[in-house]
Amino acid sequence: MSFLGSGFLPEIVRAYGGLRASMRKQLDRNPGEEGLLALLVFGCFVVFLSFLPRLFATDLSQSPDQSIVAGIIMWFFVVMFFLPLLMYGVAWISHFVAKAFGATNSNKQARHALFWGLAVLSPMLILKAMLSSAFIQIGGDFGQNMLNALNIILAFAILRIWGAMLAEAKNFSSAWRVSGVILVITVGILLIVNLAAQWP
């Protein structure tokens, strides 16, 4: 895919041709903390952009009297200020889980894997946002079923991309096993949260 040229965005596109190879290339560059932070800010901004089409579609189809501007400002604040803190926390947890399975390198590699994985996921986030807004406008059972299908596809993509990046960053042989561990831990946390919410 040399026709893509060089640069940050072409590197994201090329990553889909080899997730672990793209992570290894990133690790070999060994960016500093400011480079990792720039990756995270880019990923969070894409998450913010990915919400906008759905916000417009929901407001126009269900509640046109509500202020779209207020929703945009609130979402920008949540994503750009709170999501980075959450991502650092997730990276920290993934590092200690990886250590439990034998990884020996530092927390920086776990952060790099998560932040680069989010950047690689960005085209899929934008595509999902555009499709979701269309299905919201369609509505009905078909629209809802398609939204559910998009969420499942996105969840699979997150597991696949993050699993591959973390496996390469932590020197694990199987990316699929890493994805499986991420899935099990995520489901476990969701079950605990759900049980706690239902506790009398």
Residue whose C-alpha is closest to residue 90's, from 114, 122, 125:
114
Quote the longest CA-to-CA distance of the chain.
60
Round to whole Å and give the CA distance between 116 and 149.
25
Residue 190, Cβ density class (10 Å: 0-12 exposed, 13-18 middle, ≥19 buried): exposed
pLDDT band at residue 2 under the 50/70/90 scheme: very low
pLDDT band at residue 28 under the 50/70/90 scheme: very high
**pLDDT at residue number 58:** 63
**pLDDT at residue number 6:** 63
Asked if 116 and 85 count as a contact pair (C-beta separation under 8 A), the reply is: no
- Per-residue pLDDT for 86 more than 90? yes
Q: What is the mean pLDDT of the chain?
A: 87
To the nearest whole percent, how much of the chain has pLDDT over 90? 59
Q: What is the pLDDT of residues 101-126, one digit of tens each?
A: 988 888 999 999 999 999 999 999 99
Sorted by where each begins, the domain ranges of the chain are 2-198
Q: What is the mean pLDDT of residues 138-143?
A: 83
What is the 3-state secondary structure of the chain? CHHHCCCHHHHHHHHCCCHHHHHHHHHHHCCCHHHHHHHHHHHHHHHHHHHHHHHHHHHHHCCCCCCHHHHHHHHHHHHHHHHHHHHHHHHHHHHHHHHHCCCCCCHHHHHHHHHHHHHHHHHHHHHHHHHHHHHHHHCHHHHHHHHHHHHHHHHHHHHHHHHHHHHHHCCCCCHHHHHHHHHHHHHHHHHHHHHHHHCC
